[in-house]
Chain A
Amino acid sequence: MMSEFYRDPKIFVIVVLLILALAAPLFLPDAFVFLIGLTYLFIILAISWDVIVGYTGQVNLGHTVFVGIGAYTTALLQVPSRFEGTFLNALAGIPQPPVFISILLGGIVAAFVGFVIGVITLRLKGYYFALVTAVLPLVFIQFLYVWSDIFGGEEGFSVGLERALAPDSTGKYYIAFGLMVISIITLYFILRSSIGYKFRAVRDDEILAESVGIDIVKYKVLSFVISSFFAGLAGAAFVHYRITVGPSLFDIPLMLLIILAAVIGGLGTLYGPILGGFIIYLMKNWWLKSISGISAILPINDEVILYTILIIVAILAPHGIWSYIRLGVNKISGKAVR
């Protein structure tokens, strides 16, 4: 047992990272603990996007909509009084479920919407799916503005301090970490199972996959439903982490951040987007804020820099940094490159 522990660098790295992550709140200042917790939830978004795009090859540009659906589902379940006086007045009296049930429901509703959209668009060539999912965010945000009595419009609304994931940052941090670990493990096993191999078969060659008897539409839709479920789950968790819900959380910049994280890490690698998500989210919210002084002189802000990085990485290193890391590790440990 012990000898195997030393021999496999992967297990060693995972154990070290686990210890670091669990000990982090003990020595980091509160604001960082809060930010890193948010980063864990963001990582769920990056890996769930990777399931449909990286593993199944279908470009989903509306991932943030499912994040938003999860978020507003849990927020409205917790604050049903928002329905009062609207055409959905009947919903105002529904009892509030416990926070964790409500987060789970956020994921389920997002998965259901993903199922409906997937059934319509994934029968067709991938282009249609990309086009339709690209339209979704605009329509979703429009809905939030049109029924601002319910959704709170641009401002959003608060779900109340008492419905936070935990009373303090450290508690929230551990819950977000737990959610991320559960999501990673679940997706790891799904992607290592025969389902995951079918996703990859569909991505690599649809015609070949179909000819060996894989129902390609079924697996594309399944992949999209799984991806949407985790997006909704993370979106709902965001609400109870930040106590507020609003459209600014789920707009196009977030979509680009997810894409950036997954592309930089490496599409279809699972570990890549975890690493990419960690780097990108911290970078965006931490040191890129400090460069905003430049925009007084040049038309450059943090988003311009992120978009530029994305373009350069996508052209020069379309397989992401994870493939380089794996190459390096394999070289050191002497294994053949897969």
Chain B
Amino acid sequence: MIEIVLRILIYGAVLSGIWALTASGFSLIFGIARILNFAHGTFFVLSAYLSILLIKNLGFNIFISYAVSVILVGLVGVVIYKIMMAPIREHEVMVIIVTLAFALLVGEVLLLIFGEHGISVPSFARGFVEIAGVPITWKRISVFIAAIVVIILLEYFINRTRTGKMISAASQNLEAAMIVGMDVERLFVITMFISAALAAFGGLLYAQVFAASPIFAFKSLIFAFAIVILGGLGSVRGSIIASFIVGYILTITINTLGARWGEFMVLVTIIGILIVRPTGLFGVEE
């Protein structure tokens, strides 16, 4: 019994850390530009495929290949923003449709190139350690630590640096930010880069422990939805806290009922929150 509880505690923490990265990226770009980026899950799986290409075909060291693929996916995010989102940003319906179409396009191409089977990427660390009789791999521990480090860096960036403060100011009131002379377009581009890079890093961590597949792009997007709705649309801190709640709900569901109930529980969670507290834990009334 203790073994199961401990396993759920640790596995849940690992999963939650990964979702915290992904969901806060999704939340960042929504918060500032009101863009619901349905291609966010695509960035999540794209980095795993990119790093596999770099390691296997070009013989990169794993750390270098991870860094390169995170930066590349961040740049892809910026390019997608420039080509597909910026020209139609005023037209919310079209932004959703175009990003969804892009996500499905990339998913289909990945499916044609790599097939439907998931891929895993090499992990940071090998071996395992026993905690109270439960063997926990160093892989999971290193993934969790990496996720926490990035979350702390993100919090530091948003709350302590000038650019970060500008991003959160523009998220609170875009017009006022423009009036005081902020280059809002530049902030959008920076935020888009960070948002995509966070998803990319989340995806790399996920693919170390589990496996990334083209279909998973859409599923990861849906978990990110649940988290941002629970945390409140546009609130990064809310997303981080909510990802631990959703991460544990998912881990408990998967360990007790089975993996196929995962999405169903997520939907029940979303509907439940929308009935009880529509603005989420930390969302602002609009």
**A residues adjacent to B (C-beta < 8 A):** 53, 57, 59, 61, 120-121, 123-128, 130-132, 134-136, 138-139, 142-143, 145-146, 252, 256, 259, 263, 267, 295, 299-301, 303-304, 307-308, 310-311, 314-315, 318
By DSSP majority rule, is chain B's interface helix, strand, loop, or mixed? Answer: helix
- Give the contact-size bracket for chain B: 35 or more
B270 contacts A by Cβ under 8 Å: yes
Is A138 touching B93 in the complex (CB atoms < 8 A)?
no
Is B112 touching A135 in the complex (CB atoms < 8 A)?
no
Is B278 touching A123 in the complex (CB atoms < 8 A)?
yes
B76 contacts A by Cβ under 8 Å: no
Is B112 touching A127 in the complex (CB atoms < 8 A)?
no
On chain B, the residues within 8 Å of A120 by CB distance are 271, 274-275
Is A131 touching B101 in the complex (CB atoms < 8 A)?
no
CA distance A310 to B218 in the complex (A): 18
Is B84 touching A310 in the complex (CB atoms < 8 A)?
no
Per-residue contact bits, chain B 261-286, to A (CB 8 Å; 1 contact, 0 not): 10110110011001100100000001
Given contacts A120-B275, A136-B267, A142-B263, contact A53 B93 (CB under 8 A): yes
On chain A, the residues within 8 Å of B108 by CB distance are 301, 303-304, 307
Is B275 touching A134 in the complex (CB atoms < 8 A)?
no
CA distance A136 to B264 in the complex (A): 9
B111's nearest neighbour on chain A, judged by CB, is A299
Is B96 touching A130 in the complex (CB atoms < 8 A)?
yes
Is A311 touching B102 in the complex (CB atoms < 8 A)?
yes
Seed contacts A134-B221, A263-B94; 14 additional CB < 8 Å A-B pairs: A59-B93, A59-B96, A127-B30, A136-B267, A138-B219, A138-B263, A143-B264, A252-B104, A299-B109, A300-B112, A304-B112, A307-B104, A315-B83, A318-B94
The 18 sampled A-B contact pairs (Cβ below 8 Å) are A59-B96, A59-B97, A61-B100, A123-B278, A124-B274, A125-B286, A127-B36, A128-B278, A132-B274, A134-B222, A135-B225, A135-B226, A135-B263, A135-B266, A142-B261, A301-B108, A301-B112, A311-B84
Within 8 A of A (CB), among B80-95: 83-84, 87-88, 91-94
CA distance A81 to B89 in the complex (A): 51
The listed residue with most A CB atoms (<10 A of its CB), out of B30, B83, B93, B266, is B93
